[in-house]
Amino acid sequence: MSAPIIWILTPFAVGFLTLFFLQKRFSPLIGGTVSTILALVALIFPIDTALLLGSTSIKISASVQFFGRSFSLNTADGPLIAIIYGLAALWFFGTEASGTANRFVALGLMIVALLTASIAVEPFLFAALLLDMAAMLVIPLLVPVYQKPGRGVIQFLIYQTLAMPFILFSGWMLAGVEASPGAIGATVQAGTILGLGFAFLIGVFPFYNWIPMLMEEASPYVTGFLLWALPTFTVIFALGFLDRYTWLRSSPQLSGAIQLAGVFMVASGGLFASQQKHVGRIMGYAAVTETGLLVLAMGLKSSEIVNTTFLLLIPRGLELAVWALALSIIKRRAYSLRFSEVQGLARSYPVAVAALILAHLSMTGFPLLAGFPARLALWQELARQSLAVSFWVFFGLLGLLIALGRTLAVFVMAEEKKAWELNESWVQIIMLGLGAIGLFILGMFPQILQPLIANLPALFEHLGQ
Residue 3 has pLDDT above 90, yes or no: no
Give the confidence band of 175 by pLDDT, cuts at 50, 70, 90.
Answer: low
Question: Same structural domain for residues 306 and 449?
Answer: yes
> At which of 73, 102, 122 does a domain end?
122
Burial 19-32 (b: 16+ CB within 10 A, else e): beeeeeeebbebbb
Query: How many CB atoms lie under 10 A from the CB of residue 426?
Result: 9
| pLDDT (average), residues 14-21 | 85
Question: Same structural domain for residues 258 and 377?
Answer: yes
User: Total domain count for the chain?
Assistant: 2
Query: How many CB atoms lie under 10 A from the CB of residue 147?
Result: 10
Residue 464 has pLDDT above 60, yes or no: no
* In-domain check, residue 272: yes
Among 148-157, 271-280, 391-400, 439-448, which stretch is predicted with the lowest mean pLDDT? 148-157
CA angle 235, 241, 245 (to 5 degrees): 155
Residue 409 has pLDDT above 90, yes or no: yes
For residue 367, give Cα distances in angstroms to 108, 229, 364. 32, 26, 9
Question: Same structural domain for residues 238 and 371?
Answer: yes
Query: DSSP letters along 311-364, please?
Result: HHHHHHHHHHHHHHHHHHHHHTT-TT-BHHHHTTGGGTSHHHHHHHHHHHHHHT
Among 21-30, 59-68, 269-278, 432-441, which stretch is predicted with the lowest mean pLDDT? 59-68
Question: Same structural domain for residues 232 and 97?
Answer: no
* In-domain check, residue 133: no
* In-domain check, residue 182: no
CA angle 423, 213, 150 (to 5 degrees): 100
Of 428 and 194, which is predicted with more confidence?
428
For residue 184, give Cα distances in angstroms to 48, 119, 187. 41, 30, 5
Say which residues have a Cβ less than 8 Å from residue 299's Cβ, sequence separation at least 6: 255, 256, 257, 258, 259, 262
pLDDT of residue 53: 63
| pLDDT (average), residues 275-285 | 93
Range of the domain at 40: 1-122
pLDDT tens track for 78-106? 888 999 999 999 999 988 888 776 688 99
* In-domain check, residue 339: yes
Question: Same structural domain for residues 267 and 404?
Answer: yes
Among 350-354, 413-417, 445-449, which stretch is predicted with the lowest mean pLDDT? 413-417
* Beta strand pairing call for 63-66 and 121-122: unpaired
pLDDT of residue 150: 82
* In-domain check, residue 88: yes
56: three-class secondary structure by DSSP: strand
Burial class (CB in 10 A: 0-12, 13-18, 19+), 447: exposed
pLDDT of residue 288: 93
- Helix-helix angle 350-363:426-444, to 10 degrees: 30
Residue 187 has pLDDT above 70, yes or no: no
> At which of 122, 138, 171 does a domain end?
122
- Contact yes or no for 269/281 (Cβ under 8 A): no
* Residue 152: closest CA among 234, 228, 224, 223: 223
Give the confidence band of 132 by pLDDT, cuts at 50, 70, 90.
Answer: confident
pTM for this model (two decimals): 0.91
Question: Same structural domain for residues 226 and 111?
Answer: no
Determine the residue type at 314. I
| pLDDT (average), residues 160-174 | 80
> At which of 65, 87, 122 does a domain end?
122
* In-domain check, residue 61: yes
Say which residues have a Cβ less than 8 Å from residue 2's Cβ, sequence separation at least 6: 60, 61, 62, 63, 64
pLDDT tens track for 329-382? 998 887 788 988 888 888 889 999 999 999 999 999 899 999 999 899 888 888
* In-domain check, residue 410: yes
Question: Same structural domain for residues 110 and 229?
Answer: no
Rg from Cα positions in the chain: 22
* In-domain check, residue 169: no
CA separation for the pair 295, 291 (Å, rounded): 6
Give the confidence band of 319 by pLDDT, cuts at 50, 70, 90.
Answer: very high
Question: Same structural domain for residues 448 and 329?
Answer: yes
Query: How many CB atoms lie under 10 A from the CB of residue 209?
Result: 18
pLDDT tens track for 221-246? 999 999 999 988 888 888 887 877 77
Among 5-9, 33-37, 194-198, 434-438, which stretch is predicted with the lowest mean pLDDT? 194-198
Question: Same structural domain for residues 445 and 296?
Answer: yes
365: three-class secondary structure by DSSP: coil
| pLDDT (average), residues 42-71 | 73
146: three-class secondary structure by DSSP: coil
pLDDT of residue 458: 78
- Contact yes or no for 344/412 (Cβ under 8 A): yes
Among 167-176, 265-274, 327-336, 351-360, which stretch is predicted with the lowest mean pLDDT? 167-176
CA separation for the pair 440, 442 (Å, rounded): 6
Give the confidence band of 162 by pLDDT, cuts at 50, 70, 90.
Answer: confident
